[in-house]
Structure 1
């Protein structure tokens, strides 16, 4: 969205690439489960599955309300976030996970988290302004295009840079800093990449980056949940990294995966 692209279009553009990444990861997980003869779970039963689905319907409706509301034009992305917060709060009371006594603590924790994010955004925007003032995007664009004006090569270089950036920088500041640098390059004559397609490629790069050492935040959270050291989980994750890189290459060089659904809805 920092590149002036419709939020709804980006939401729609992410579905097929997301399904592709999910299928790739499922295939790797299934292969290793079969190879290592992991224990099989309980046989599938319709009654418990139906019961769990019914219990989850109110939560699943959140996706329909938020994305459907934006696509239909009932509210903007900012308003959608407020709707999502209110809807989630109501669900918390319905499921009895939130009560009036817990609410002040929840709001205080939210203020702390929001403050950190807003500080990052403010700092990143300042840095973006400085880079624009110093013509850094134009200089980087000229440097990249001087290496090659071939679309495949340029995308390959940008993907590599974003993967490296994602390993040590959080997604929000990375998007705010590097969008004004790379967007003019990929939309330049000869490259002619759709901004929506580039948005998906950029986010996918950064998502892979935050799962990757040395500073991958998702990797640290996953290791903490599994109660394992980072060094213990890196090697088993290598096949999953390979699967995600393959998915990234496909998404980068097959534009219709990202653009078909937005075009169906008129974006």
Structure 2
């Protein structure tokens, strides 16, 4: 595909959406595959072009409405096309709103249907609960950062951990609530530990009550965020696996033969 420049939603358009969440939520519910009705309610010239070129792209939607079938491919597509952008662009809600409204609308709605009312737009399109949470839980941005934090160039399949995390969001999601959520070393180390535990005990280990929240808490207890920043990936991996061994023993789950 050809090159395009990214765009930002204008401040005026952003303010219009924030002031009329109920109206725009209704529009999305009535128009889940086409954003033209939404954009028609915004001020004219609601997007401003920025001089940051990217390869043009499209996201997929599943014909049967099962977004899980296209989730990992879409996440990788987002990452591969946006990873060239500077952090201040990736961290701006106006950039993600442009993507949602002009580039990825149908996929966004299929990924996160408008079932929770106006909180979807407020919390998962906009940064209603702050920038960090907005990025980690944004309808599109969460997919980008899931790849950014799990891509591992040391593996034969660099997206092996991305696929592992996407198969069961709980394997990764609990880390996004924590202060270390943007520490790639911790996230990849923990996922590798979780993966080894499943290989050792089978999927049964995932049925332990609060299994993944407990792993996330365990990592927090290893030290402060500052100390965690200095821990090696293999240390995190070994620590998570040892913790999973303890959980398995406490719940009488034996290693598979």
- Give the helix-richer structure, 1 or 2: 1
Query: Could you state the TM-score of these two structures normalised by the residue count of structure 1?
Result: 0.28
Query: Could you state the TM-score of these two structures normalised by the residue count of structure 2?
Result: 0.29
The higher radius of gyration belongs to 1
Structure number with higher relative contact order (C-alpha < 8 Å, ≥ 6 residues apart) = 1
